[in-house]
Amino acid sequence: MRVLARTSAVVFSFLVLAAGAAVTPATAAPSPPLWDHIGYDAEDSWFNPRETTVTAATAGRLTRKWSVKLRRADTCSEFSPPVVSGGRIFVGDQAGISARSITTGAQQWAFDWDAFGDGTRPRLAVADGLLIAGYRDCGSVSDPNSQLIALDAATGRRRWAVRTPVMGNFAVDKGVALVSETDGVYGDTLTVAYRVRDGKQLWQAPNRNTGGVSANGVVAAFTTDDEGIRTGVAAALDITGGAVRWTVKRHLAADAASPAGDVFYGRDGSDRLAAVGVKDGRVRWTAPPAEDVENNWIAADGARVYRSSNRTVTALDARTGKQLWNRKLKASAYQPLVAGGLVYAEAVVLDATKGTVVAGGSTFTGDLVVTGGVVYQANEGTLSAYVPRTS
């Protein structure tokens, strides 16, 4: 699975009580398909705990339900990973952003890049009925203007748009959209938070840069000097107001958080993978550096932490950091995705517990979303949906 950033669905049941009558349980309402951040949730865990249909028993017999070509245009824009919410799948294409039916793939609305400029591969998240998209103008190398926009998820109508000074890392949580970046030319570092409802700026933190991960409303930020050099100090910031929860004399670049939002996972100053408590900043464990320290990706399902680097996927015990299994692949693994007891890597599906190969092939190449018993694939300008064969 290739990616080069929670609103929880509620399943409920109730009891009908009548005087002298027996208690009769009601049928539980099904969970709607949901994957409303590119990394599944604000924690960027890349773990869907609700998938029960696409499992080890069915992943090897998927069949294409529908496939559509995404819009192309003569621009510098790129296709983006999709997100799913409200019966729609949203994806960035070369002309802008489009929303399609998860049932048929039919386009329901489209937003075109406007006079602001052609957009880079947009960062997407759905919150409060809005599709939040962060992108920068890819037409200007010297002055790549950045913009944060909010589109009505049902109609595509633009609700608000703001120019942002940065657009590197991106997180949406607790009604807040957060962007942060260290400028590669001038070294300026900045984190800025905007209210999802109307785009109003809420706070900013100079010389702070986050990894685009929010652990139940807490973001981990590393500190830089005025030239963008890291100072070896990490801080936890409240996403709603910017208040500092704690600071520690340690480097931390958070790449993901646990689904429960209680642990950050990311590289420390020695490029080791560190598990750091969200509440207090205490290091719980560290693991050796990845094969390629600049190109490795994290997923976490609460029991295990999965790390991919080069052609290797490794599973670590989430409590201790001890290696549980290690799998060499034929191709680079990129971002792992976890759902239905499976780990999706580039062109390969592994058993999450044992690391054994369950399935493989072109169906699992590109940017994937697994939710509601469907594997959605965005690959080289084509969006497809795959479901298990019934016979």
CATH of the domain at 33: 2.130.10.10
Residues 6+ apart with CB under 8 A from 12: 28, 29
Residue (of 338, 334, 357) closest to 346 by Cα position: 334
Q: What is the pLDDT along the chain (391 residues), one digit of tens a residue?
A: 666 433 333 332 322 223 333 333 444 456 789 999 999 999 999 999 999 999 999 999 999 999 999 999 887 788 999 999 999 999 999 889 999 999 999 999 999 987 556 667 789 999 999 999 998 776 555 556 789 999 999 999 999 999 999 888 999 999 999 999 887 666 789 999 999 999 999 999 999 999 899 999 999 999 999 888 889 999 999 999 999 999 999 888 899 999 999 999 999 989 999 999 999 999 999 999 998 888 899 999 999 999 999 999 999 999 999 999 999 999 888 999 999 999 999 999 999 999 999 999 999 999 999 999 999 999 999 999 999 998 7
Residue (of 277, 280, 321) closest to 298 by Cα position: 321
Residue (of 361, 307, 253, 337) closest to 82 by Cα position: 337
Flag whether 4 is in a domain. no
Largest CA distance in the chain: 77
- The per-residue pLDDT for 115 is 54
How many domains in the chain?
A: 1
List the domain range (segments joined by +) for residue 309.
15-388
Flag whether 5 is in a domain. no
Flag whether 121 is in a domain. yes
Flag whether 157 is in a domain. yes
Flag whether 174 is in a domain. yes
DSSP type of residue 165: S
CA distance linking residue 65 with residue 386, whole number of Å: 5
What phi, psi does 204 have (nearest 5°)?
Answer: -145, 155
Flag whether 7 is in a domain. no
- The per-residue pLDDT for 14 is 27
Flag whether 2 is in a domain. no
Flag whether 167 is in a domain. yes
